[in-house]
Chain A
Amino acid sequence: MTSLPHELENIVLAMPGVVTVYSSGPRVAIGALELTNGSPSRVEVTASGQGSDPERIVVNVGLDASAQAPVTATAIASAIRAALPAGAATAIVVRISSVTERT
């Protein structure tokens, strides 16, 4: 069974215009996560204290310069929202960390 962070990472990576998903945290934090959770996802999901909906989802992306970065980022946010239960109040943060020409 795929965890939500991994599921979201796969969804984002499959989207047109997405080159990569970057890690949200520094190396030390990721190393610690690796020790406790196995292979960590690059998508950060903060669990909510109440209910099953996550409180916050953060994704740092590298985008392809062929499409307008804001349009691609908006589509990413929509795709993440669509993967959540309807009506979830989860805050979604999409941060564009690079925009590059595909080589």
Chain B
Amino acid sequence: MTDVANDDIGGSGYSLEQLSDYLDRGRTPAIEEIDGNAECQAILGSLERYGSLSRDLVSRDAAEHPEIDENWFSSLLSTITREVKAGRDIPLASADPRTSISITEGAIRGLVRAAGDSIDGVIVGRCTLTDAALGENTPSAITVDVSISVLLGSSVRAAAEAVRQSVYGALLKHTELQIDSVNVTVSDVHVIPIDGDAR
């Protein structure tokens, strides 16, 4: 694992490795600094989704393809660690002038990742939101670029289209952003363990 494993996540005082251990322990005893931290929770959510690919796959397959698998997984964790950062607050409409409602960039990226990961056989690698207006905290049109890894043997075109629709639907439901486009790039294929020991 790269040095990303030792980074402090979201100012919690806990590293990626410690979060992974916490997950392994079934999140007990409860640690307030982790449970009350949005970035830690986003990392834990990703680790849970990739559970079969993290500990099982990496440890099992390291002997067969140590460089490829470990680098790939470390790179993914590094990307996720960057993406969960809260970033800017994107305002949502409020009828009351004394009330401000917003959604963080980190939450939006989390939505995109979860929507992509929800498609069978798909693992989201990187997601990027591009719009100059985001920097001005103004809801505006955005372009979403998502790179994905697809399960070997599945239809690449169908998987990409399913991800595109899922991401679009999630953003439409939970944000007020105008979505210019959702671009999906299949950048990798992967295999998963079958019956606990086959790739």
State the interface size on chain B (CB cutoff 8 A). 37
State the interface size on chain A (CB cutoff 8 A). 33
Q: What is the bound-complex CA distance between A23 and B38, given in angstroms?
A: 8
Say whether B174 contacts A97, CB under 8 Å. Answer: no
A89 is contacted by which of B92, B95, B98, B173 (Cβ under 8 Å)?
B98
Tell me the chain B residues, 145-198 only, with Cβ under 8 Å from chain A.
Answer: 170, 173-176
B130 near A: Cβ within 8 Å?
A: no
Tell me the chain A residues, 2-52 only, with Cβ under 8 Å from chain B.
Answer: 20-23, 26-28, 30, 42
Contacts of B33 in A (CB 8 A): 27, 30
Q: What is the bound-complex CA distance between A83 and B110, given in angstroms?
A: 31
Say whether B94 contacts A77, CB under 8 Å. Answer: yes
Interface 0/1 of B83-123, CB less than 8 Å to A: 00010010011111011111110110011001000100000
**Interface of B: prevailing SS:** mixed
A77 is contacted by which of B45, B96, B118 (Cβ under 8 Å)?
B96
Say whether A96 contacts B102, CB under 8 Å. Answer: yes
- Nearest to A94 among chain B residues (CB) is B101
B114 is contacted by which of A68, A69, A100 (Cβ under 8 Å)?
A100
Q: What is the bound-complex CA distance between A94 and B98, given in angstroms?
A: 11
Q: What is the bound-complex CA distance between A19 and B101, given in angstroms?
A: 17
Instruction: Give the A-binding residues of B (Cβ under 8 A).
Output: 11-13, 33, 35-38, 41-42, 45, 48, 86, 89, 92-96, 98-104, 106-107, 110-111, 114, 118, 170, 173-176
